[in-house]
Amino acid sequence: MSRRVSGFFKDDSGVCGAECGESYGAASHEGIFADKGDLRIRQKSLLLHSCCGPCSTSVVERLARDYDITVFFYNPNIMDEGEYRRRLETQRSFLEIYNSSPDAPSRVALAVGEYEPSVFVRACEGHESDPEGGERCEICFSLRLAKTAERAALYGFDCFATTLSVSPHKDYAAIARIGGRLGMQCGVEFLAEDFKKHNGFARSVELSKAYGLYRQGYCGCDFGRAGGQHGGGRDSE
């Protein structure tokens, strides 16, 4: 039995959900979220913010043996709605393929945040022309990680993390600083790890190709797109 609590679905097997107002078919919902209960007893629960399906591949592969993972897709920075939906579908496809693999050490749930690009645009006012790696990107990281930390605290996760550090174009020091501060504020541990290390980015490219995932050619916001700024997909190679 499922019920909706403040935007997240909770069901008998644990936390999972969608809060973007999209309707999930019961079959795909159950397909993604089944078998979570037992694993929670043995593993730390991790709410993993994901910027996109391709970046999440190598992070999920790396962490799935040690954590009970729920991927949290919250990316208001993707200003083009069509692009947002394409990346969300790619995220969903990856997890469906991953969860159906007999080699997967544990199943990974998906939670979808609100799609609210106007929040991102407002937060970035005055920083539209900043270069990649500048203040606008730090605002962008803060926005996405703040929501992740809040939800992790609200739903009792042991820790939270983000796939953002997979990209060679993202400043890991800034991500670790922002995540650590938000973790302290929300009372949830931030798993600070530079996921591009130990071949993490190259592995994400390899896995994305193997899974046939769409790999975007820009980071997400129209400001960066106009300036040719990168993301975790094709453009980062």
Nearer to ligand SF4 by Cβ, of 140 and 207: the residue is: 140
Nearer to ligand SF4 by Cβ, of 54 and 220: the residue is: 220
Buried b (16+ CB within 10 A) or exposed e, 29-46: beebbeebeebeeebebb
First to last CA, the chain: 44
What is the nearest approach in angstroms of ligand SF4 to the Cβ of residue 179?
A: 14
What is the nearest approach in angstroms of ligand SF4 to the Cβ of residue 164?
A: 8
Side-chain half-sphere exposure of 120, counting CA atoms within 13 A: 24
- The answer to whether 152 and 145 are in contact (CB under 8 A) is no
- At 16, phi and psi to the nearest 5? -160, 175
What is the nearest approach in angstroms of ligand SF4 to the Cβ of residue 140?
A: 3
What is the binding site for ligand SF4 (CB under 6 A)? 77, 132, 136-137, 140, 219-221, 223-224, 229
What is the nearest approach in angstroms of ligand SF4 to the Cβ of residue 203?
A: 21
Nearer to ligand SF4 by Cβ, of 67 and 72: the residue is: 72
Nearer to ligand SF4 by Cβ, of 158 and 235: the residue is: 235
Return the structure tokens found at 51. Answer: 């910027």
At which residue do the structure tokens 């078998």 appear? 35
